Structure 1
Amino acid sequence: MQHVSPTADAAALVQFVGVEKVYDSGSPAVADLDLEVRQGEFLTLLGPSGSGKTTTLMMLAGFEAPTRGDILLHGRSLAGKPPHRRNMGVVFQNYALFPHMSVAENLAFPLNVRGIKSAAADRKVADALALVHLEDLGHRRPDQLSGGQKQRVALARALIFEPDIVLMDEPLGALDRQLRERLQNEIKRIQRELGVTVVYVTHDQIEALTLSDRIAVFASGRVQQVDRPEAIYERPATAFVAGFVGENNGIGGTVVARNGKSCDVRIDGGLMVQATPVGDVAAGDQVMTTIRPEYVLSGPGIPDPCNRFTASIDDLIYHGDHSQVRAILPGGATLTIRAPEGLGLSRSDSLQVGWCAERCFAFPASGPGFDPAGESE
């Protein structure tokens, strides 16, 4: 395969068109899904449990059928086409390796069912083992491998027959953090080297930010935002995205006035702040204001941002190059701050804090809720 660099103008390999999936409960697991997967890109479906991301992947793989709408591959409908005829590789969290087969036999299996045997299959198996750095382990059985090695074999098996697309459902969820990080780098290296299109499901925000060309954030069966990782982080489209992707402070409030690209908000506790409105926000509306901990300025000599207050320190945790500070604003609202080391802070101290309106967003309070823990909707 030759490398394909995905761009905003890249052709759509997969299209979800008005897709909905309803189970027996009657509530849509996925609703009104219009989503494109571009040729050669790494697209991550990110969201909490029950948000619809895995159901979306299973419909693309052919293990679930849409209740309504259509899914297109190369512009052709996949309706009625079984999984084995979709030319898609699939990698699961539990590896799904055949325990009675050796590593080499596991890799050869998808080739054999496609009629590729003998010398040609042997060459492909050798190339696949080299791709995942397991050249000397082809004779072993799965129970003789570590978790990381098993996942490398599962990845190699999904790639060996040169599929149109590789689907990965929480493939690193069973591994420890250090191994996860190593395999994240391996997965991205292989994806870039081969130029293969990947659709990846995870609930891990850091994993999504690390791996993806684009991220589709799901909540309550609907896509909240699809964009590049830096745009998802820096310019969230909804309060849910702001709360789910990365750390964020969320404080409720009421819009007092809207002034073009900014608005005045009376936050919980009665303080007035300036923020950047997102969406249809008008005077009198209930909003959720958000500011990331790293954008809250603290200590002496703060430039004069539009929002500046004297807060009291309720708690602080040492993190080496910074301290995570929980500060209480006048009126009782709390903020998490990343304060630089060297300020000599201690509990019950007062601390000057401030932030600019450009970094503080005001979202409509309707829709999936803000969750600063990033765990639920």
Structure 2
Amino acid sequence: MNHDEYHRKFADAIIEQIRQGTAPWQKPWAPGERVMPMNVDTDRSYRGGNSLHLASVQQEQGYGDVRWGTYRQIQARGGQVRKGERGTRILSFQDKKRIAVTDEQGRPRRDAEGKKVYRYEKLKAPFVRQYTVFNAEQADGLPERSNPTPEPLWKVHQEAERVMEDVGVPVRHVQGDRAYYHMKRDEIVLPERGQFPSANHYYQTALHELGHSTGHKDRMNRETLIEGIDGGFGSPQYAREELRAEISAMMTGERVGVGHDPSRGAAYVEGWIQALEEDPREIRRAAADAQKISDFVLDRHRERVAERDPVAVAAVRTPAQGPQRIVVPVPRIPVPERGFGPSR
């Protein structure tokens, strides 16, 4: 499969899920639930477009296990992919090559554990390589996935509050039903806390608007935010920015532990479909930008934690895992005329 075919197939699958309301960011995820894919061998989360692609396949196939790996990686963990199982293609951007370090006699250098030592050299011409991975449910013999006990909600909410504060965007609470980011004033406007049915809903909405705020010229200077403001609600540019904010809210919501509320996206469905039909690569760009947004938010948080308490920085939470999915009713919040905010 060439890269154009890969992007078209990925976009078509996402478009169909958007129409059905089942794309990963259109589903409600419970606080503490692990939904973003991770590598079975390294336990590290997949990132950007690969993360969204595999999450989409999980949703489509009904996989409850978020672990993925190549045929060899699964074997290395004691598993065996079942005969007849079809893998999923992902892309790996290669801009460095690994070179074994040798001594004066040309023999491989080894570390204290006897493993070969490597160095990495930047390539003059980066390239993209495709890999085939399998979900853990497509294999036998793998150890059971461990499910760490979720943090208590009061602690999750406390950290979510700190995350909001540490990015440094002012938050103003106004009686009413509007939630949005105002770029010119560089502030987030939210309904009063008591208007939300739960603290989770409050922070889920806040993380969406915080995602928009990262596009300010003094932060990430994101083109889609600026063009979206200029285009206004209903424009293709507006929909592209909303796609980034919604996917980033899902990513950050999992990493912080508050889960995800998908209610903001209903008004943008047609815009998302149009964007992906016109350019299949847009979904990977949106996912990559969403990953950068989530990283920006949590990197700021870690920096502030380190400033306040250097010892505590190691305790900043990694992605939480939880046992099951729940569906939570959500309030309707209209889209503001200007700025970026949820549709309901």
Q: Relative contact order: is structure 1 or structure 2 higher (C-alpha 8 Å, sep ≥ 6)? A: 2
TM-score by length of 1: 0.23
TM-score by length of 2: 0.25
Whichever of the two has the greater Rg, that structure is: 1
Bigger share in strand = 1
